[in-house]
C-alpha cells in the first residue's frame, strides 16, 4: 500500500501541479485533492503532511474556497503556500488584507529566523517568486514571522508547536532559489517522510494494488500504442496475466501505417504475450463524424464510439469487470476533474462511463503520474526505449488535427503530410530535441498555382513544440532548411494541399493541438 502520503489541497492556483511535482522530486509520494475533499477522507488517508496551494481568490470573500479549522488541528503538519498561507492565517485568527500595490515576480527574501526548519541548509540571501495582491498583515496567535520582503511583512511564518507553516511566495517555482529545498525541508524534516519513494516502488505497489482489486475478475484495456496506454497495458499484464484483454481500436484517425505498427508490437508474434484484439472500425467512425465540425462534439463522438466498441468487444469476451485507461495526471487536470483548474478540453479518455455500460469500474493506474514519470515506469517495466520515448498522440487522434469536418480524404491528406514532416525531422536528426510535432489540416482553402493550373486547395499547418509537462509549451525552432524541405515535399506529394504554414503560437495562449 502507499505509505508516507503527502496530500496537496488544490485551491485553484496556476502552479498546483508544480507543487505535487516538487514533492515527488523529494521522493515523497503525493496526491492532489480539491479543497472540497472532506475532513473524514483526509483522516482516512492519514497523510504525513498537507500542503495548501495558491489560488486566485481573496480568502475573506464570502464565496472564496476555504477549509474548516479542524484541518489545522489534526496534528498533521500543514504548509500553506500563497493563498494557502493567507487562508491558514485567516482561519486561525490572523489578518489578511489587500495591498495597495501587488507584489509579482522575483523579490529579495530577507530571512529573519535562519534556524527555521523551512530554511535549514539554504543561504540567507535568496530571491523568491511572489505573485499576490493580498498579504498577511498580522499572523495568527502562536505564529512567528520567519522571513519578509521589502513590500511584504510576512513572507513566511511558523507555529512550530502546532507544526503549521505558511509561505507567501512560491517555493515550487524554479525562480525561487532553493525552493525545492524548502519544500523538502517541510516534507522530510517537518513531516518526517523518509523520502524513499521511487518509480520502482510505484510499479511494485501498483501491481500489488491491481492484484488485490481485480482478484480473479476480467479486465479490458484500451491500447492505442501510445506511451500511456502501452505502459498501463504492460503494468496490468504483469499484475494479472491473461485475465487481461487488450483492445486496439483502429478508428481510422491514426497516423499513417500506425495500425499495422501497433499490431506488430502487441499482437500475436510481437514482443508481448497479450490477449490482443484489433478492431477495424474506420468506416463506422467516418460515418459518425460526417457533417460534424465542432471540436467538442467531435471529441464526444469519438470518445463515445470508443466506449461502444469496447462494450461490443467486452460482450464477445463474456463478462468484463474492469476497464483500464491510460489517463495521466495532466489529462485529469485539464479536463477539470482533478483539482480546481478550469476545464480546457474534455479529453475523452478521462472520467466516468456512460450509464448503460456494463463495467464495474475504470482502473486508471497512471492517473497520478506526470508524463516523464510514466516514461520512468515504462522503463522500469522493461518496455523498450523507442516505445517509451514516443511522442504523445491524442486519443481522438487526427480527429482533432483536422479542423472542421473530418472526411476520409482529409484524413489521408493529413496522414501523408504528417508522415513527410516526421520523416524529414528524423532525417535532420532533431526528433529527440522536440517535445511534440505533427502536421494538422486547417480548414482553410486558398488559391495557388501549380503547373500553370489554378488550384484551390487546403493549407497544412506544421506544429512543433518544446515543453516539459505539456501544460505550457513554446514553438520549437526548426531549422529553416528543414521546414522548407517539408513544405516542398508536402506540396509536391500530397494531393489537395497547396500551402504549408508553421505555427509559432506558444501555450498559453494556444494549445498544442488545434482543437
Ligand atoms: P493541448 O492541445 O491541450 O494538449 O495543449 C496537451 C497534450 O495533450 C494531448 N491531447 C490529448 N490527449 N485526448 C488525449 O488523450 C485528447 O483529447 C487530447 N487533446 C490533447 C496533446 O497531444 C498534448 O500532448
CATH class for the domain made up of 6-190: alpha beta
Domain boundaries, the chain: 6-190, 202-388, 407-503
Nearest-atom index, ligand 1, CA of 510: 5
153: which residues sit within 8 A by CB, 6+ positions away?
135, 136, 137, 145
The single residue of 59, 128, 152, 172 carrying the catalytic annotation is 172
In whole angstroms, how far apart are CA 130 and each of 57, 100, 137, 319?
15, 15, 16, 55
User: Strand pairing partners for 475?
Assistant: 465
pLDDT tens string, the chain, 515 residues long: the values are: 456 899 999 998 878 888 988 998 899 988 888 899 999 999 999 999 999 999 989 999 999 999 999 999 999 999 999 999 999 999 999 999 998 888 888 899 999 999 999 999 999 889 999 988 999 999 999 999 999 999 999 999 999 999 999 999 999 988 899 999 999 999 999 999 999 888 778 899 899 999 999 999 999 998 888 889 899 999 999 999 999 999 999 999 999 999 998 898 889 988 888 999 999 999 999 999 999 999 999 999 999 998 888 788 878 888 889 989 888 876 765 544 444 544 445 554 444 454 444 678 889 999 878 888 899 999 999 888 888 888 888 889 999 999 999 999 999 999 999 999 999 999 999 998 999 999 999 999 999 998 889 999 999 999 999 987 777 889 999 999 999 999 999 999 999 999 999 999 998 889 999 99
> In terms of CATH, what superfamily is 202-388?
HUPs (3.40.50.620)
In whole angstroms, how far apart are CA 298 and each of 12, 330, 392, 515?
28, 21, 20, 9
Distance in angstroms between the alpha carbons of the first and the last residue of the chain: 39
Tell me which residue has its CA closest to atom 24 in ligand 1: 392
CB 145 within 8 A of CB 109: no
CA of 194 to the centre of ligand 1 (A): 35
CB count within 10 Å of CB 53 equals: 30
CA of 298 to the centre of ligand 1 (A): 14
CA of 393 to the centre of ligand 1 (A): 7
Residue count of the chain: 515
Q: What are phi and psi of 512, to 5 degrees?
A: -70, -50
* Same fold: 6-190 with 202-388: yes
The domain made up of 407-503 has a fold known as GMP Synthetase; Chain A, domain 3 (3.30.300)
Amino acid at each position: 500500500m502507499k505509505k508516507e502520503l503527502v496530500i496537496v489541497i488544490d485551491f485553484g492556483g496556476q502552479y498546483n501541479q508544480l507543487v505535487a511535482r516538487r514533492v515527488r522530486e523529494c521522493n515523497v509520494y503525493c496526491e492532489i485533492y480539491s479543497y472540497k475533499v472532506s475532513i473524514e477522507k483526509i483522516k482516512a488517508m492519514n497523510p504525513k503532511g498537507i500542503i495548501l496551494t495558491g489560488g486566485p481568490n481573496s480568502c475573506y470573500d464570502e464565496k472564496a474556497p476555504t477549509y474548516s479549522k479542524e484541518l489545522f488541528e489534526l496534528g498533521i503538519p500543514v504548509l500553506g503556500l500563497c493563498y494557502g498561507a493567507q487562508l491558514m492565517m485567516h482561519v486561525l485568527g490572523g489578518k489578511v488584507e489587500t495591498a495597495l500595490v501587488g507584489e509579482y515576480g522575483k523579490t529579495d527574501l530577507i530571512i529573519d529566523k535562519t534556524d527555521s526548519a523551512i530554511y535549514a541548509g539554504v543561504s540567507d540571501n535568496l530571491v523568491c517568486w511572489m505573485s499576490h495582491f493580498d498579504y498577511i498583515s498580522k499572523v495568527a496567535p502562536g505564529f512567528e514571522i520567519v522571513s519578509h520582503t521589502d513590500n511584504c511583512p510576512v513572507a513566511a511564518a511558523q507555529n512550530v508547536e502546532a507544526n503549521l507553516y505558511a509561505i507567501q511566495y512560491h517555493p515550487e517555482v524554479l525562480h525561487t532559489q532553493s525552493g525545492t529545498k524548502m519544500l523538502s525541508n517541510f516534507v522530510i524534516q517537518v513531516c518526517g517522510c523518509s523520502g524513499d519513494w521511487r518509480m520502482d516502488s510505484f510499479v511494485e505497489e501498483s501491481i500489488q494494488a491491481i492484484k488485490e482489486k481485480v482478484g480473479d475478475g476480467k479486465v479490458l484495456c484500451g491500447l492505442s500504442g501510445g506511451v500511456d496506454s502501452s505502459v498501463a497495458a504492460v503494468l496490468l499484464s504483469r499484475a494479472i496475466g491473461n485475465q487481461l484483454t487488450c483492445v486496439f481500436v483502429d478508428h481510422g484517425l491514426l497516423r499513417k501505417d500506425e495500425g499495422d505498427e501497433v499490431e506488430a508490437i502487441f499482437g500475436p508474434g510481437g514482443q508481448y504475450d497479450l490477449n490482443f484484439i484489433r478492431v477495424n472500425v474506420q468506416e463506422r467512425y467516418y460515418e459518425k463524424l460526417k457533417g460534424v465540425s465542432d471540436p467538442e462534439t467531435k471529441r464526444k463522438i469519438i470518445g463515445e464510439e470508443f466506449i461502444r466498441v469496447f462494450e461490443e468487444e467486452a460482450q464477445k469476451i463474456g463478462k468484463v469487470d474492469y476497464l483500464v485507461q491510460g489517463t495521466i495526471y495532466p489529462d485529469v487536470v485539464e479536463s477539470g476533474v482533478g483539482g480546481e483548474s478550469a476545464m480546457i478540453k474534455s479529453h475523452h479518455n478521462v472520467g466516468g462511463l456512460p450509464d448503460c455500460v456494463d463495467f464495474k469500474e475504470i482502473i486508471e493506474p497512471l492517473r497520478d503520474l506526470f508524463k516523464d514519470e510514466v516514461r520512468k515506469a515504462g522503463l522500469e517495466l522493461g518496455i523498450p526505449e523507442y516505445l517509451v520515448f514516443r511522442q504523445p498522440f491524442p486519443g481522438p487522434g487526427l480527429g482533432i488535427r483536422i479542423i472542421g469536418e473530418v472526411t476520409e480524404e482529409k484524413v489521408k491528406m493529413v496522414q501523408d503530410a504528417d508522415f513527410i514532416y516526421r520523416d524529414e525531422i528524423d532525417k535532420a536528426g532533431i526528433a529527440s530535441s522536440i517535445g511534440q510535432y505533427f502536421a494538422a489540416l486547417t480548414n482553410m482553402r486558398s488559391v495557388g498555382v501549380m503547373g500553370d493550373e489554378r488550384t484551390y486547395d487546403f493549407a497544412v499547418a506544421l506544429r512543433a513544440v518544446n515543453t516539459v509537462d505539456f501544460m505550457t509549451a513554446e514553438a520549437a525552432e526548426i531549422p529553416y532548411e528543414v521546414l522548407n524541405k517539408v513544405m516542398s515535399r508536402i506540396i509536391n506529394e500530397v494531393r489537395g494541399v497547396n500551402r504549408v504554414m508553421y505555427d509559432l503560437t506558444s501555450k498559453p495562449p494556444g494549445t498544442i493541438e488545434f482543437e
